[in-house]
Amino acid sequence: MKFSMVIKYIAKYRHAITAIVAVLFIGSMVYFGIRTKNMKDVSIESQTFSGLAMGTAIKKTLYTEDASQNESIDKMIDSCLTELEGRISVREAGSEVASCNRNYAVNGIYTFSDDIMEYLKEEFQIWEDTKGAFSPCIRPLADLWGIEDGEARIPEPEEIEAALKCINAENVEIVDSGIIFYEERMAIDFGAVGKGIACDLVREKLQGTNVRGAVISVGGSVLAYGDKGDGRNWHIGIQNPRAEEGKMFAVLDVEGGVVISTSGDYEKYFEQNGKRYHHIIDPATGYPVDNGLISVTVISESGFLSDALSTACFVMGTEKGLKYAEKKGVEAVFVTTDKKVYITSGLKKKFRLQSEEYQLENK
């Protein structure tokens, strides 16, 4: 149809067209008005539960229309965490991981449950991607330092040298039916991913409940689920690494469905002769990471990835860590010893500083 004909058509039927547009406009306003009213009429209540699991503090805030089921949901979450800990903890004698570390035979195949094997494959993939900055076999070194067990000390150089030979993931092979160790005194470990896995499993459990939204903290990993009933983003604070617990230096605006994990030198550490020794060990040196970083936060839809990469990026350092985070499609926040903050590109409109001590840098 030629343009001139279109003009004549509109002129001829302009009243009818105007009426149709008006009806559509009013209809849309009524629809959204009803929808908004219904959202406002829904009474969403929050309730918070706390406890201990997986060797750390747990906090669960649930947003529901009916709070009568909250206690049972809280118990369901606790049961989920307890079951996971009983399967992957190196400190639970009957766990699959602890049993492997205690009973494997060099050159023999040690088998695991299907889901544990998938986690192991992912861990070893990150080890390969990061060229060893992340190690699934770091446990012999972690035990040597004793920082996580309340028996912290500075090992002798020869002790560290011996332990370094036991953490080389090249001496482990992943096969379809399990894993093969080619050296003695090695050990696998889920310490850098366990809390992220926990968040993933809790999210699956919540999907079968009446919970509208939730914020579940498992140590340094936080699951943001759903919303509060208003459809808005969550505002998740990041711990100030140089302030008392609960003091935040920044806030992230995130949608439900993500896990935010933070690794920092302030979580578990001791000081000797004015130097801080923390629990994040560099697999290349055998000593706590000392690269100018004090905190790394990673945001991902995968709790496993969020937890693993917060550790991996911390070990890699600001420059390489930022590039790796961008490559993996996650968002990240890096904080240095001189209180400079670097973020990935996707956080520019979602990150807000809350402390004048810190300075956001462009990189």
Tens of pLDDT, residue by residue over 94-127, are 999 999 999 999 999 999 999 999 999 999 999 9
Residues 147-194: pLDDT tens digits? 998 899 999 999 999 999 999 999 999 998 899 999 999 999 999 999
pLDDT, tens digit, 9 for 90 and up, residues 8-55: 444 444 444 444 333 334 344 333 343 444 444 468 899 999 999 998
pLDDT per residue as tens digits for the range 240-276: 999 999 999 999 999 999 999 999 999 999 999 999 9
**In this structure, what CATH number is given to the domain that contains residue 247?**
3.10.520.10
**Is 94 among the domain residues?**
yes
Task: Report the 10 Å Cβ neighbour count for 337.
Answer: 14
Same domain, 98 and 36: no
1: pLDDT strictly greater than 50? no
* Domain boundary, last residue among 145, 163, 181: 181
Residue 48, domain member (yes or no): no
Number of helical H runs and strand E runs in the chain: 10, 17
Would residue 211 count as lying in a domain? no
Distance linking the first and last C-alpha atoms of the chain: 54
Q: Are residues 116 and 15 in the same domain?
A: no
Residue 209: inside a domain, yes or no?
no
| Separation CA 12–CA 107 (nearest Å) | 87
Closest residue by Cα to residue 174 from 215, 221, 139, 137 = 137
Q: Concatenated DSSP letters for 30-81?
A: HHHHHHHHHHHHS--EEEEEEEEETTEEEEEEEEES-GGGHHHHHHHHHHHH
Q: Do 350 and 267 share a structural domain?
A: yes
Q: 116 and 23, same structural domain?
A: no
Q: Classify residue 147 by its DSSP letter.
A: G
Residue 318 domain boundaries: 233-360
Q: Which of 139, 165, 181 lies at the terminal end of a domain, its last residue?
A: 181
- Rounded distance between C-alpha atoms, residue 154 and residue 187, angstroms: 21
Domain final position from 181, 203, 222: 181
Residue 47 is assigned to a structural domain of this protein:
no
| Total of domains in the chain | 3
187 falls within a domain: no
Q: Are residues 238 and 338 in the same domain?
A: yes
| Whether 344 contacts 363, CB under 8 Å | no
Integer angstrom CA distances of residue 120 from 53, 163, 204: 22, 21, 20
* Amino acid at position 361, single letter: E
The CATH code of the domain that includes 125 is 1.10.3980.10
What is the pLDDT at residue 177?
81
For residue 190, tell me if it sits in a domain: no
Phi, psi of 135 (to 5 degrees): -125, 125
The whole model's pTM is what?
0.87
Check whether residue 273 and residue 171 sit in a common domain. Answer: no
pLDDT at 293: 98
- Per-residue pLDDT, averaged over 71-79, amounts to 97
Instruction: Report if residue 323 sits inside a domain.
Output: yes
Question: Contact 73/211 with Cβ under 8 angstroms?
Answer: yes
Residues 340 and 246 occupy one common structural domain: yes
